Amino acid sequence: MVHGKKLAKEVLLPSVVEDDEADTERAELQLDEQRWSQNGVDVHEPEDQRSDREGDVADGGEAADGGEAAAGAERETSDEDYDTDLELRGEEEPYGLMGQTRYRKACEMLQVVPVSHFLQHMQCSELDLMHRGLGPQGTKALAVPLVTNTSILRLNLRDNWMEGMGGAAIAKMLKENCYITEVNLSDNNLGDHGARAMAGMLKENNTLMCLNLSGNRFTDRCSEELGAALVSNSRLQHLDLSYNALGELTGQILGDSLSENTGLRSLSLAWNCIRGRGAVMLANGLGGNVFLRKLDLSFNGLAREGASALGQALRDNNVLEVLNVSNNRIPPEGAIRLAMGLKANKTIKSLNIGRNPIQSVGCYGILQSVRDNSNSTMEILDFSDIIVNQDFEDLYSSVKETFPVLRVNHGGKDGSYRIVKT
């Protein structure tokens, strides 16, 4: 029974190991279907065992002294299925065939149907498997050949309901795969368990540049792990955490992390629950960040305090180019405080503060701050669904003479029903 569980782990997530017995006789792996169904398949190997997997393979040599049957079983598995040294693959069969074989065997053990699209596109640079209904088991089977796949660079697994178990399998795979640079895992119900697995992966992965984790029901319970990952990872450039349930605590922790992060170029926290002190701390972290170019905080709860903190951050930050704070319950006073930061900012090109109760006076204050900043690079001001008065229209006409490229969107003048005015 122990050998069965160990064998299942190694088949599902093989490591890149060296085979010192290249001339050992190769034998086909014989799968005992009943034994696998009794033992189950576990890809959640404890972290402290990752460094011992080479030792596990070496243990197979010692098993030869224990009995002829055990030695035969060990040779079958270690020689054929666990040999993932890239230099040795050509001796047996093309990598594409090896990957297909490994995937089919994993599917058989996990009792899932192989995805034909995956089998046909394993050697493409981009793989799109969204809306395939993989589930946790299907995701675990998929992770097997991806561990050593050297062709796929962009992987889209959106909306496969993989849950935390499947997310952990993908995270483990990404710890070992050093070729994949873009991954979309949005809408997969990963939960906090999956979030922690992804955070652990980001601490070790040095290849991934773009990660989409939108719509996965993350909460503040995973905030510490996510914050630590952002501090330690300097390779990831684009991170999407939108449409989750991250709240005030996450805002505080990510604020500290942002001030230390040296990799992110764009971050989306849209459609979360960041408010109060969390919003203030997040804005403070932005002030100390010198790499982030795009930040989406729409549909949160920044309110007056958060907007005021953002205004101060924009005084200090001269890197950010795109900021979206629409739908954040920002009142006119908050807009005025934010506008004070725009007077000193030299890099913001696009500001979306639409669908906030800032009224015409808030819009006027922001536009006036752009006019008063001779170094402003503003190109787009979005005041969608906010009604403005004639004073704003007159100011806009004046500003257009100084900033001819500036475009302003708003909800119409004096209660009219025009949606956009440019």
Please tell me the distance from the alpha carbon of residue 359 to that of residue 386, in angstroms, as a whole number.
6
Q: Which residues contact 52 (CB under 8 A, 6 or more apart)?
A: none
Please provide the average confidence, as pLDDT, over all residues in the chain.
83
Please tell me the distance from the alpha carbon of residue 202 to that of residue 175, in angstroms, as a whole number.
8
| pLDDT over 50 at 16, yes or no | no
DSSP-assigned letters across all residues of 375-401: T----EEEETT--B-HHHHHHHHHHHH
Considering only residues 131 and 1, tell me which one the structure prediction assigns the higher pLDDT. Answer: 131
User: What confidence tens digit (pLDDT) does each residue in 319-367 have?
Assistant: 999 999 999 999 999 999 999 999 999 999 999 999 999 999 999 999 9
| pLDDT over 70 at 26, yes or no | no
Q: Which of 298, 299, 306 is nearest to 281 (CA)?
A: 306
Considering only residues 351 and 48, tell me which one the structure prediction assigns the higher pLDDT. Answer: 351
| pLDDT over 80 at 376, yes or no | yes
The share of the chain scoring above pLDDT 90, in percent, equals 74
Are 326 and 355 spatial neighbours (Cβ–Cβ below 8 Å)? yes
Domains of the chain: 2-91 (no CATH), 124-410 (3.80.10.10)
